[in-house]
Amino acid sequence: MLTRFAPAPTGHLHIGHVVNALQVWGTARRNGGRVLLRIEDHDRQRSRPEFEASILEDLAWLGFTPDEPMVRQSDREAIYQTSLQRLRDQGLVYVCECPRRVVQPFRAANGELRYPGTCADKALSEAPGRALRVRLPPAEIRFDDVLQGPQVQRPCDQCGDLLIRDRLGFWTYQFAVTVDDLEQHITHVIRGMDLLASTGRQIQLARLLGRDTPPQFLHHPLVMKSPSQKLSKADRDTSIRDMRAAGATPQDIIQHAGSSMKDFWNSPRVPTEYPQDAS
């Protein structure tokens, strides 16, 4: 078993990350598995070295020690290019010149932006300011989430053809994380409910890249600051850095993270035997 903890260095670690880390490390330890630490810095505009340093320091202070060498998405350009070429060889990649405002009016039933395929048959050449998309053929993706149960998703109806490199030349989250989980042989993906809708498209993209058996997924509830708003690094919500400065100990923070998700830990579908030392 190999799972991963994958923070984005766009802000400081917050209590929601600790909730996820408890589940990631706890699941790995109970099953004799390993944890890989992946810094997801595909967003080069918002990622900052000082945030990465802060995240690493806070994880070490809390006792979350990875079992594999840390990897950064920014160091994996050659791997992403190779994966892109696999999709090109299948005739699945095309250039897109649509700005966000063109896509904005098109929404799926769940409210997601859905690309309508405007550039799919234009045969545009690559140029600065143009993006890359991969064709997602109509398909029904079924998977069984450990916590949420059986799921059925149709990515072509939810999001349309998937953006894999944006207009600034940066790899997108959907593409980078799918390639990483495939190439790093991740067997279990444990993450928040906000990413449940992304799972079908990641499974479908991974199949196009040659992965027949997807990871096992578990999507857990988020720690919310209001009924409709999740915690945010950008807003410095419950920052571990601020809690440390106020005198909190690692045990205080881990207990706070555990108690904030008491109903989740008590779910009959989720094991509750977490180790005293999360590392």
Residues 213-252: tens digit of each pLDDT: 999 999 998 886 655 555 555 555 579 999 999 999 999 9
pLDDT for position 112: 87
Give the pLDDT band of residue 131 (cuts 50, 70, 90): very high
Give the pLDDT band of residue 259 (cuts 50, 70, 90): confident
Query: Is residue 136 helix, strand or coil?
Result: coil
State the DSSP string of 81-100.
HHHHHHHHHTT-EEEE---H
Question: Residue-wise over 63-97: b if at least 16 C-beta within 10 A, else e?
Answer: bbebeeeebebbebeebbeebbeebeeeebbbbbe
CB 33 within 8 A of CB 3: yes
Residues 43-66: tens digit of each pLDDT: 999 999 999 999 999 999 999 999
Q: What is the pTM of this model?
A: 0.89
Q: Give dist(CA 120, CA 100) in Å, integer.
A: 16
> What's the mean pLDDT when you consider all of the chain?
90
Per DSSP, what are the bridge partners of residue 270?
A: none
pLDDT for position 223: 83
Distances (CA, A) of 278 to 30, 80, 91, 198, 261: 11, 32, 45, 28, 16
How large a percentage of the chain has pLDDT more than 70? 89
CB 188 within 8 A of CB 218: yes
pLDDT for position 210: 97
Closest CA to 13 of 69, 52, 64, 71: 52
Q: How many residues does the chain have?
A: 279
Domains and CATH numbers, the chain: 2-265 (3.40.50.620)
Whether residue 122 is predicted with pLDDT greater than 60 in this model: the reply is yes
What's at 81, amino acid-wise? Q
